[in-house]
Amino acid sequence: MSEEDREALPPGFAQQLRDGQPVDAGTLRDVARFRRAERKRFLDLRRALSVEEAQRQTERIALALDDLLDDVSGRIVSVYWPIRGEPDLRAWMARLCGRGARVALPVVVAREAPLVFRAWEPGVAMERGIWNIPVPAGTEALVPEVVIAPVVALDEAGFRLGNGGGYYDRTLATFDPLPARIGVGHEAARMKTIFPMPWDVPMQAGIFGDGSLAGSADLSFPR
């Protein structure tokens, strides 16, 4: 089976329906190929950013997150460890801890399994996880109330184009109720549609590298 066909399969589900009807294999393949081409295009745009411009955009994203999440005291907020040129919010994560939030990082424990979220704070011991992404070493597992997810691109309905593994969608499908969800990406990370499938979970809001907000400015939090 090709990489495109593997990506077309539902992430962790035996069967998925749209409005009570199966999504046929041809549609899955077509959408997977479209997303694969778009992912490459947006990653090329990201790689073309200078270090200075990427930093400026990250700072605007951090300021917009501060405005959106004005009261985080006592909240559990999942952020991420940046890879592949994603906005580097590690300094903002440290400031978040200083504002009374509990920060968590997503951890891949097994391929094609839901993520777990482990507590992080400045100075915590880190180890190499799957794909050598640094993760907290043996800290407490947390259930996030807010998930900040990096995007390769975000579409007009709030659906994210990610790196292709399906981990966020697979994980969010296990939450009841859903956490607040914010996608973050560089200024050019906007697209019309990813042609969402039934298992794709939309973000409530998106923040781009120019500091602009898409979606809801009034996030709903799980109770």
135-175 residue pLDDT tens: 999 899 999 999 999 999 999 999 999 999 999 999 999 99
Contact status, residue 94 vs residue 77, Cβ threshold 8 Å: no
DSSP 102: E
What are the two backbone dihedrals, phi and then psi, of residue 69, each rounded to the nearest 5 degrees? -110, 65
Domains of the chain, residue spans = 3-215
CA angle 94, 159, 116 (to 5 degrees): 45
DSSP 131: G
The helix/strand/coil state of 161 is strand
Is pLDDT of 12 > 60?
Answer: no
Phi-psi category of 140—alpha, beta or left, where left has phi over 0 and alpha has psi -120 to 50?
A: beta
Name the nearest CA neighbour of 118 among 133, 131, 135, 132. Answer: 135
d(CA 13, CA 111): 14
Model confidence pLDDT, tens digit, residues 119-132: 999 999 999 998 89
CA 67 to chain centre: 19
Name the nearest CA neighbour of 43 among 211, 185, 215. Answer: 185
Residue 104, H or E segment:
strand 102-107
Determine the topology of domain 3-215 in CATH: Rossmann fold (3.40.50)
Model confidence pLDDT, tens digit, residues 177-221: 999 999 999 999 999 999 999 889 999 999 999 999 999 777 766
Q: Which two tokens stand for residue 31?
A: 């959408």
Model confidence pLDDT, tens digit, residues 18-66: 444 467 788 889 999 999 999 999 999 999 999 999 999 999 999 999 9
Q: Report the pLDDT averaged over residues 68-74.
A: 92
Place 8 in a pLDDT band, splitting at 50, 70 and 90.
very low
What pLDDT is attached to residue 223? 52
Is pLDDT of 2 > 80?
Answer: no
Contact status, residue 151 vs residue 162, Cβ threshold 8 Å: yes
User: 168 vs 4, which has greater pLDDT?
Assistant: 168
CA 209 to chain centre: 15
What are the two backbone dihedrals, phi and then psi, of residue 194, each rounded to the nearest 5 degrees? -95, 5
Phi-psi category of 18—alpha, beta or left, where left has phi over 0 and alpha has psi -120 to 50?
A: beta
pTM value is 0.88
Q: Which two tokens stand for residue 199?
A: 């298992």
